[in-house]
Structure 1
Amino acid sequence: MNKKKTYIGIAVIVLIFGIVVIPKIIDRVMRGEVVKNDRLNVAELDTVDDSNAELSYININGKDRKVPHFEFVNQNGDTITEDSYKGKVFLVEFFFTRCPTICIPMNKNLVLIQDEFKDDANFGIASFSIDPEYDQPQILKEYADQYGVTDPDWNLMTGEREKIYELANVGFNLLAQENPEIDGNFQHSGLFALVDQNGFIRSRKDDFGNPLIYYRGFIPQGTPETDDEETSQIDILIEDIHKLLNKNKNKNKK
């Protein structure tokens, strides 16, 4: 009889934890917190599962999140939409060319990733400027040349400010806003989104089985740990890109 009461007590505790604590964790992860300078802090998801398990989908309100429609102009003056990346694995970032802080390591990291997959036509990168009035195609072209952008599927894009900010804040849930109180006058996430060949946002899981959601792009590859106890996630991002590309290759062989 006492053993039965013990089991009932444990069940009640587990139920209460699920009702009270888990929704709060999910809410904090999805909402994020703005911290130093112009980036989004994701230190709480520092430990990640490095297994070969299939990458997770990002499920919100019962639906796996996909890249929404967009239509902007790239550094070459060409119109680019989400269909331009159809059948490709690609990364998404939000940046601006006059950024004096996190955009520098972000785009250096992207160049390293570009070079890793230089021989794979099924990989691309989508960079959206959050300072579109200044970042016109010629400025973006000069920036691309400065950083060594050579991948024909790496598009640095500009367009209507409202649409770019809607894509960032609503479409990807990645912070982008003006903030005259910080260097560069713009505040944005330093994270990369990983998108699969079908347009779904993907990620590996942390040690607790929760999707990592996005990858830290603002910490240089090889950095052991920052002052905020955050480590680089570029190596695991490269691993996960390989997973998606190899899965598609194996699928085509069948």
Structure 2
Amino acid sequence: MSTRKTNYSFIGIAFIILVFGIIFVPKIIDRITGNDVTRTESRSKNVSTKTKGFISDLMFLEINGEPKQVPSFSFVNQNGDTITNSDYDGKVYVVEFFFTTCPTICPRMNRNLVQIQNTFSDFKDFGVASFTINPDYDTKEVLKAYAENYGITNPNWHLMTGDKDAIYELANVGFNIYAGENPNVEGGFEHSGNFALIDKNGFIRSRKDNFGNPKIFYKGIISEAEKEDEDGETEEISMLKEDIAKLLKEE
């Protein structure tokens, strides 16, 4: 092959590469910037179709490979209104299980939640869902007085009562947050002091632990001011606030 033919071959190849770059590279860039090309780490197809736009680095809790979503519920709140899971659509919210006569952890949990309420007072898309595990005593009137006593003012903070079996099913199966009756403990009921964090699409979310696994829940008993309890457990209210702020930015 002559030198002239070789040069022509190189020129032809270079021309093809140039044309490819002019035509296809801008299209690839457009797809990336337009979010047609997306990252799928730790996200199922169901999640990606329900959470469009910006998604934070918070993980989805997955059960059997599927993201865990809040189950349907319907209870009466402190104002006598029927509240369902649909009332929280488009809102970031924190979930707790408590009872008004709790002599131990509930007052601490709800003081922490009131602090969180006040931190996000300017956000109409933030709320709290509090479910009593003693509905026989915690009527709407009792819950109303409790809300006033604690300074609960967020219109999206519903303290709910209703069928006991449905509430316990929601706690132990729906959220995997333990609640039960126990006449041998102070107050007659025992329950987790943890909070669950729910995104605008009804999925349970949390940050990663040091091993890359979801923390799932946030400790609700220790306050920011306390830093840690007598057992050396550190507070997670500040962590919860940070993650609420992240979810509020999601679309």
TM-score (normalised: structure 1): 0.76
Aligned to 1:227: 230
Aligned to 1:54: 57
Aligned to 1:67: 70
Report the secondary structure of 2:195's partner residue. Answer: strand
Report the secondary structure of 2:97's partner residue. Answer: strand
From 131, 134, 156, the counterpart of 2:134: 131
Gaps of 5+ in 1: 1-51, 249-254
Aligned to 2:161: 158
Quote how far apart the aligned CAs of 1:120 are.
0.4
Quote how far apart the aligned CAs of 1:88 are.
0.3
Quote how far apart the aligned CAs of 1:182 are.
1.0
**Counterpart code for 1:194:** L
Q: How many residues align?
A: 197
* Ranges of 4+ aligned residues in structure 1 off by more than 3 Å: none
User: Percent identity at matched positions?
Assistant: 58
From 168, 172, 194, the counterpart of 2:197: 194
CA distance in 1: counterparts of 2:136 and 2:187, whole angstroms = 14
Report the secondary structure of 2:250's partner residue. Answer: helix
CA distance in 2: counterparts of 1:191 and 1:153, whole angstroms = 20
**Does the 8 Å contact 2:92/2:248 carry over to 1?**
yes
**Counterpart code for 2:182:** N
CA distance in 1: counterparts of 2:68 and 2:186, whole angstroms = 32
Quote how far apart the aligned CAs of 1:53 are.
6.5
**Does the 8 Å contact 2:56/2:247 carry over to 1?**
no
From 96, 102, 105, the counterpart of 1:102: 105
CA distance in 1: counterparts of 2:56 and 2:69, whole angstroms = 21
Gaps of 5+ in 2: 1-54
From 146, 150, 154, the counterpart of 2:149: 146
Quote how far apart the aligned CAs of 1:169 are.
0.4
**Counterpart code for 1:166:** E
Report the secondary structure of 2:159's partner residue. Answer: strand
Shift in alpha-carbon separation, 1:77–1:53, aligned structure 2, 3 A: closer
From 162, 167, 170, the counterpart of 2:170: 167
**Does the 8 Å contact 2:94/2:129 carry over to 1?**
yes
User: RMSD of the alignment, in Å?
Assistant: 1.1
CA distance in 2: counterparts of 1:71 and 1:133, whole angstroms = 17
Per-residue CA shift, 1:27-54, capped at 9, x if unaligned?
xxxxxxxxxxxxxxxxxxxxxxxxx960
Structure number with greater Rg is 2
